[in-house]
Structure 1
Amino acid sequence: MRPFRRLLAALALSLPAVLPAQSTTPVVSTALPAQSLSSGANATVDLRNHFNLPGVTGTVVQLNTVLGRFNFELFDDTPITKANFLSYTNAGTYNNTIIHRSVAGFVIQGGGYTYSVTSTHIPTGATIRNEFRRSNVRGTVAMAKVGGNPDSATSEWFVNLGDNSANLDNQNGGFTVFARVLGNGMSVVDSIAALQVASINFGAVSLENVPVRNITAGQTQLQLQNLIAVTSISVVPIYPAADASASVLSFSASSANPAVVTAAVSGSTLTLTPVATGTTTVNVTATDTNGSSVSQTVTVSVGGTGGGSNAPGITIEPQSQIRLASGAPQTVVFSLSATGSAPLTYQWRRGGVALPNQTNATLILGNATEAAAGTYSCVVGNSAGSVESRAATLAFVSAAPAELGRLSNLSIRTNAGTGAQTLIVGFSLGGTGTAGTAPLLVRAVGPSLGQFGLTGTLTDPVATLFQGSATVATNDNWGGTTLLADRASQVGAFALVPSGLDAALAPSPAVGSYTVQVSEKSGRTGIALAEIYDATPAAAFTATTPRLVNVSARTEVGAGNDILIAGFYIGGTTARTVLIRAIGPTLAVFGVTDTLSDPRLRLFSGSTLVAENDNWGGQAGLTAAAAAVGAFALSNPASSDAVLLLTLPPGGYTAQVSGANNGTGVALVEVYELP
């Protein structure tokens, strides 16, 4: 063991007393509806619809240290830094590292050095561009960098122990805050900051202010257990899965009278099992990583066989929206999901006053102007009662501080191969009143998906961009070229393996419709990711700048990992209305065989379910929206195709297309921007 150069006796105990709150803890999002069960018939409740972490919409990573766990939420508006941090996380580079710096009342720092008595710096990738946007206040997480060079960050990160905005916001271009500590995770951070610190010579490197623990009287040599190990950093969902893998929240439930009803939780699903006739209550608790919890109680009644009526309950609330005040009419959509015994009735209200003829689960304001601003809610009812949703606010902001909401990237993940199994992704570039060209990044990713734990990927994808039947550009292996690497960094795309066999293009096409074909050079099949990014700088974007307005892909939909996933990101600062369709049966009109007979469409923001649809139901508003964007009509209102029309705030989303009851077949997924 190598000797300490100097062991400091002082404890780092000085922490600010009053600082801005940066964390969130679990809350009840919607009340659990009362349940009326029949003997012998279990009931299940998706707890994701009733508990959440307010304001948490970004990717969450969990840090496991020898002193406890805590979580970071990564911010979407620092895409380059987020992608950089995730590249180290997903590659496992941050595992078995140490907290190598602690300065009382200032920061703790990690992401640099290995957990070893002969510690060395972890391997690092290229430096990244600075993205300073937020202040360095307590509980925020920022990237460390070299003095005098604002674009020098690589792997090292730090947590602000106090309000460091006066210092760190004003030097070296400002330090990029890319995450925040969630819940009461700062209690773990503070326990690390409270340790004594030492200057340690590891041999290859010498470090100051290294936090250490378990130092014994007279100790002169460093022991491995003295260091503060970060055993792992990994991406985790907010809600638990049935396989009991790591997550931010966990659920538990207990019945007040198990002789009437028993309660069990698997992942995020509560199962209520009737035992005998009677009424009791079940208490359900959501607990986060650091022990913060919230509970609610559901009343459960058990009757005889058959019958029973469940009162309505809202599972997905309508969301508030901010729109750009352009003066021109816009399409605004509010929607909700509800459970309860059929038939359910819906009545939308504005400011508490019922809106005539607005009696569906989706409210479509087809020609909304600033005069439509206000609060909107919906009353859902059935024979057992009624419930009113939370009020959602529609607000309009002037053009000066706002940036137009738009589709800034689109992606499709599915199986691909050669011949009939070639993945074909269509997209359009344009928008009302736009002209000219736009810089894009187009990628066909196969081998580099392995860094995210995916297996069975394409080994050597080829990407070809077409306009009609004319080839615009093609690429086999991207080769690590500077233009492609810089454009990926600019748009916040994850890094490709420089010597890998992924394919990428950097075209600047004119307004029009295009297709990207992803095929496999070796003739094999496997999972592929097709990506299209708009690389127009935010500062250069105006209402007349061409933008991505739709994407579509047709492919075979399987089960499990073989479902069809379409990802998209809404950039800017204002909401955008989108039409999302999962088409199966109607494809037969175009001569397509072996179609997915009953597609199910679910939209997620991170791990949060935003909306879902099984059968579209022939709603007139959905038909009108399809006509407005030039999509082909769904002629049969009773078809099993699935459609969502939503107004979404800026952020990342994934649309998952699967078969009801695990069915398989050919399906088409489409995402359109509405004017």
Structure 2
Amino acid sequence: MPAMLCGQADSSVRLKVMLGDGRTVLGDIDITLLTSVAPLTVANFLQYANRGAYNNTVFHRSVPGFIIQTGGFILAGNDFTTRVPQDPPVRNEYNISNTRGTVAMAKLGSNPNSATNEFFFNLADNSSNLNNQNGGFTVFGRVANASSQAVVDRIASAPVPSGVFISPWDAMPLFNYRGGTPGSANIIIIQSITASDPPPSISSNGVVSASAFGGGRSAAAGSYIEIYGTGLAGTTRGWADSDFTGSVAPITLDQVQVTVGGRRAYVNFVSPGQINVQVPEDIPAGNEVPLVLTFNGMNSAPVNIAIRPFAGGLLAPASFKVGDVQYVAAIHDSTKKFVSGGNIRDVDAAPAVPGETLTLYGIGFGPITPGVPALAGRIAQGVTALTKPVTIKIGEAEAKVSYAGLAPGLVGVYQFNIEVPANAANGDQPLTVTQGGEAIAQKLFLTVKAGQ
């Protein structure tokens, strides 16, 4: 027995569209059902779908630039005149505008509460017409993704020959029709309606700042964050040069989008279980804001994340943790090798020495000057500087910071060039970073070879 379709928030269905002879598949149309705004209408639609009433129903009306309509008549052989048995009408629930890509119920012209089984796809912005007549036409769904909309448009592109049928089939679109009596091979049908993939789901406590930079529970504008859950994407990859528009990072990657506080984030990495994004700028700090992930046209439930003015973290990946000691990923300026005391796996021993320059990388350290190009979503160019300076200590000795700004050629990553103090102590020393009078949350160490 097929699984029952249910009208949970943001659930979706898939219409398999083909020609009536069963030989040509036109594609699938995924519809996101808007239960929260039209619960009675969605329930009515699902009653028909669950008992198979929409199976083999024809697209019997097509008005170019306006709508395509279905759900009223069943194809059997070459006959398309059998009506779908009707349930009692459903009360009108007009709430959402009839814009392109929305799905709405058809009804009688003089009765707002007369919708039963027929429904239509809006091919254009029909709000000025359909929102204002007969109580407004109830939108109960949206075409979920671009590939589905392409199928809708393909149906709409089929010619409507004049004089072939009488009303109510006189506007029926026909595929590959070359005259004579049309048959099932010319008629477009919904073969079936089934549940489509569930919406993306973000895990409890599944939003953190980038784990290689501390993995905290808060973020700042321009921070990278990681989102964990299920059904988050259909591919696994990071952004590539081809995803950029000039120097601007993508806000959509393989049908994945994320909003933070209602603003589009920049999508850095996608996979079914993890998404990495860069937080956009101009999000008010000091409060929690909702994060929503969209995949294939379906939205996750919102999850809150705290936005702070500064939420700094230095690059210190899990591979640089030895026992309970987390080492920072510092790089010798002279050799471009990582600093290590020889105890980090696959990293040669190369401790820091007083007087040399090291490079550190970080995220979440806030605004920069000049502000062009922007902190978020742009490849950094030239020399920039933090508007709120940092103090970096190695043990008790303060390091000279010769550069603290965005790393040229990267997106939203900060670079710190520091000089190891002449009086730095020997051995594993705490490395502390303070910004605005507050130390970053990470507890980091750096190996120093002093007294040489």
TM-score category, normalised to shorter length: 0.3 to 0.5
Give the structure, 1 or 2, with the largest relative contact order (CA under 8 Å, sep 6 or more). 1
Question: TM-score, normalised to structure 2's length?
Answer: 0.44
Greater share of residues in strand: 1
Question: TM-score, normalised to structure 1's length?
Answer: 0.30
